[in-house]
Amino acid sequence: MHYHRASPLKGIKKQPEKSLSCALSGSKMKKSIFKKVLLLLIVVLTILGSIFIPYLRFSLHYVLFKFQFQTIFTSFFISPIIFSLDLFLFLDIIFFGLMLFFAYFIARSLEYLMGTKFLFKLYLISTVFAMLFYIGLRLLFHFAYPIQIEFNTIVMGFAYAGIFGLMTYTIFPVRDQSLTALMYFIPIRMKGRSFLLMIILLRLIPGLFFALWDPRYLIIYLPDLGGILGAYIFYKIQSARI
């Protein structure tokens, strides 16, 4: 999501000469490789996570019964998609590429305005909240799909939640303003609240739709909303410090 107009972000530091639109345009951008390392990590671990699923992707079954505790961390940098030969692989790859494209510009602007430490903290908080959402939903379905049975294992990656957290954090300060963004290279103008709603529905609608056939799809799609909630809580905390 590439914004053309937005007011300065509220956060730890006030920097009146730096605006989100300036950051996204790339003018006088500080050199930092963290955002590139983050995206590269997501790509590499997502691919490896499609091969070494039990050792990199998070699930309560693998953590509780096979002691794969490293997945608590590695899953933060893995997208939900698994590269396998199925009907939706092509669409998954396109969506994955678009998420990385948006993530690069959003991460670049946030790092420019707030710093590398802030960017990493926001991403991490968003993914942690997504994991908590996943755990809550998985426990909710435990009686229908017992966790201890490996056949019921639902593996997850929370990178999309981290990216959605970055996206929505840039919208929260301007949610009552009109924004213009490039969505699939098409300029769209609407209120910030409408963009937030669109991002939420992007995960809510598919989850509810596929849940008509299998309710476990709610466990797959809804944790990303936890990332948005985590970003909002982090935003409110930062705003209260000003």
Domain boundaries 2-6+30-240, CATH class: mainly alpha
Classified as helix, coil or strand, 211 is coil
- One-letter-per-residue 3-state SS of 144-199: CCCCCCHHHCCCECCHHHHHHHHHHHHHHHHCCCEEEEEECCEEEEEEHHHHHHHH
Q: Does position 18 have pLDDT exceeding 70, yes or no?
A: no
pLDDT digits (tens, 9 = 90+) for 147-184: 999 888 999 999 999 999 999 999 998 887 776 665 55
How far apart are alpha carbons 23 and 12 in whole angstroms?
17
How far apart are alpha carbons 36 and 216 in whole angstroms?
33
The pLDDT value given to residue 15: 40
Domain ranges of the chain: 2-6+30-240
**Quick one: which H or E segment has residue 234?**
helix 223-240
CA dihedral 221→76→167→169, nearest 10 degrees, is 110
The pLDDT value given to residue 185: 54
pLDDT band at 213 (very low <50, low <70, confident <90, very high): very high
Q: Does position 187 have pLDDT exceeding 90, yes or no?
A: no
The pLDDT value given to residue 147: 94
How far apart are alpha carbons 191 and 107 in whole angstroms?
22
pLDDT digits (tens, 9 = 90+) for 37-72: 999 999 999 999 999 999 999 999 999 999 999 999
Can you tell me the mean pLDDT for 17-36?
54
pLDDT band at 90 (very low <50, low <70, confident <90, very high): confident
**What does pTM read for this prediction?**
0.83
